[in-house]
Amino acid sequence: MYSAVIIASLMSLSIFVTKNIKNTIKNNQLYLNQKIIESVNDCFKHQSDSSRTLINSLYSKPLELSDTLSFLSNDYETYIKRRLDDYSNSDVVSYAGINSFVKNCFSYNGAIREIIFYSYKDDSLRIYGSSGDLKYIYNIKSKLNLDYNSENFNRYIENMLNSMNKDDTTSYHYTFYDIRNPYKLENVGTFIVKYSLEEVDNIIKSYEKSKSYIIAVNKAGDVIYDSSNRYLNRKYPYLDRLKTTDNYVNLDERSYIDMATSSLGIIVLGVLPAKTVFEGSKIIVFTIYALAILLIVLAEIVTVSKIDDLSMRTQNILSAMKNVQKGKLNTRIALGKEDDEISLISSNFNDMCEKLDGYIKKVYLSEIKQKNAEMTALQSQINPHFLYNTLESIRMKAISNGDKEVGKMLYNLATLFRNMVKGKTFITINQELEHCKLYLELFKFRYEGKFDYCIDVEPELLNKEIIKFSIQPIIENFIVHGVRLEDDDNFILITLEKECEHIKICIQDNGVGIPEEKLEQINEDMKNLDNKRKSIGIINVHERLILTYGSEYGITIANREPRGTLVSIKIPCKEVDTDV
């Protein structure tokens, strides 16, 4: 499926890109074709406008017009005699006649190659060269039976002029304008301007990226310009196909066409053969498909590699799960450099195993430690029931003898023993403090006048959870090791307060304190519980707290100034689990 998706995606992308590139190339070529046609059409229009301007300028100059009319109305010899007579009778220095007009024509437009006058009187063509002088006169042998204003006349004259220069490969364009005698209101001849189409060649060369060829067809259907040299000076064979509105037609070959028509009726046709449009794109298309194939191969290699890696990592997870099912909670999944869902699952699996293993150790080992502490406390006892009964008998004897204080002490002692060997692991803080009060009252009786205590606790903390015998061993250490019997101001203060999500218990006294070396040894033992000395006191409480709640909880010990000891206990603030 991965392979199918990759191949389909890349090949679809390649086809899409290829089509877009081809469409872009085709549109660019069609755009260039249109621009060439517009430029060529403007060229023909400019030549037509130039001829119109020249003929209009002739009518604005009476001497040149008069000489031109004489030139067309007489044979050349008669014209020369009249011209000399007119010049001799005039007082001008230079004679401004037809030669002056012709020279102005050549200087007006550099594309003009010949100025030709056709005389209706003797059917002759009188041709002037670029120097402004008459080159020759061509007399048509047979009288033309043509309408001088018709397209047939223009075509006939144009073909005749082209035949005179059949060895010249340059393309030319002719414009025809009648010359009218304004005094007699009759036409005496035709003003013909021969333009070189080298400017059209230059226009086409300027669009070097275009693959079109340009054809210009006159009203008669003759090709007057063909950049491909296929139909020059011939009838264009596909005029009927140009009438369709479709721009994709079948000429010599399937081609895209565009055309424009000038004011003179000249059709400028741009032909773009379909097979040449995409010639330059073959390398691009080949490169796109080659690149697509290369990407497919690389994608396949990466996909196979990734799937194999994924399969192996999944198998590692399954193997680890089987090990956990067998009870091997120390199983861990190796994490690689990848940062994906498999890595997330593996990391969470490792955390789960670690927390599960820790939880088992906390709960079961904590209970084992608790039972060991209870058993150690009972090792010195012979028979709990015998002890309770004996203490109760002694208490009743003391009361009967009127010694109520001894009776109360015996009652407190019996209650303490019952709490030590019975009850749950987790109790309320209130229960633990009541147990501590019984213990403290016993020693208050013992050291009457030398010892006192105070317990300060926030009421909302009384029902929170604490491990049984968490505070009592700390108090016992003070009673056994810290009381100054020679003084009567011995005091122990127990405070409980909430800090964020924790409860902080402080037991501070004004006793003899702990020697620095001893204090360092105790702190070292609490840091390295595996190497600790056997104890059911402070270290035992610290280890049970860590096993139950985690390494961030436990006991810290420090000496107070000027004397005494401060023991801090940190436990979580949580409700009592009634099932534990």
pLDDT tens for each residue of 169-213: 778 888 888 898 888 888 888 899 999 888 888 998 898 888 888
Domain boundaries, the chain: 2-277, 280-358, 359-572
CA 212 to chain centre: 41
Q: What is the total residue count of the chain?
A: 580
φ, ψ at 384 (rounded to 5°): -55, -45
> What integer pLDDT is reported at residue 410 of this predicted model?
67
pTM: 0.50
* Secondary structure, 3-state, 334-397: CCCCCCCHHHHHHHHHHHHHHHHHHHHHHHHHHHHHHHHHHHHHHHCCCCHHHHHHHHHHHHHH
Strand order in the sheet with 124-128: 134-139, 124-128, 112-119, 186-196, 172-181
pLDDT of residue 16: 86
What is the pLDDT at residue 381? Answer: 42
DSSP-assigned beta bridge partners for residue 214: 270
Q: CA–CA distance from 147 to each of 120, 144, 188, 265, 292 (Å)?
A: 11, 9, 13, 19, 69
Per-residue pLDDT, 455: 93
Measured between alpha carbons, how far is residue 162 from residues 167, 170, 196, 216, 233 in Å? Answer: 9, 10, 12, 16, 9
Q: Are 445 and 405 in contact (CB under 8 A)?
A: yes
Which CATH code for domain 359-572? 3.30.565.10
Note the pLDDT of residue 77: 84
Going residue by residue through the chain, which has 580 residues, state the pLDDT in tens, using 9 for 90 and above. 878 888 888 888 888 888 888 888 888 888 888 899 999 998 889 988 999 999 999 888 888 888 888 888 888 888 888 878 776 666 655 666 888 889 999 999 888 989 999 888 888 888 998 887 888 888 875 555 555 666 677 777 777 777 776 666 778 888 888 898 888 888 888 899 999 888 888 998 898 888 888 988 888 788 888 888 888 878 888 888 877 767 788 887 888 888 888 767 788 888 888 888 777 677 877 888 888 888 888 888 888 888 888 888 888 888 888 888 887 878 888 887 777 788 888 888 888 888 887 777 777 766 766 666 655 554 444 445 455 555 655 666 667 677 666 766 666 666 666 666 555 778 899 988 988 888 888 788 777 788 899 999 999 999 999 988 889 889 888 888 888 888 888 999 999 999 989 999 999 999 888 888 888 888 888 888 766 555 557 888 888 888 888 889 999 999 988 889 999 999 999 988 766 5
For the record, the structure tokens of 23 come out as: 């469409």
Count CA within 13 A, CB hemisphere, residue 240.
1
pLDDT (0 to 100) of residue 397: 61
Q: How many Å apart are CA 544 and CA 467, to the nearest integer? A: 8
Pairing state between β 213-217 and 186-196: unpaired
Give the C-alpha separation, 302 to 73, whole Å: 94
Helix extents (H) in 141-230: 151-164, 198-206
Angle between helix 98-108 and 2-59 (nearest 10): 160
Q: What is the pLDDT of residue 75?
A: 83
Q: What is the pLDDT of residue 143?
A: 52
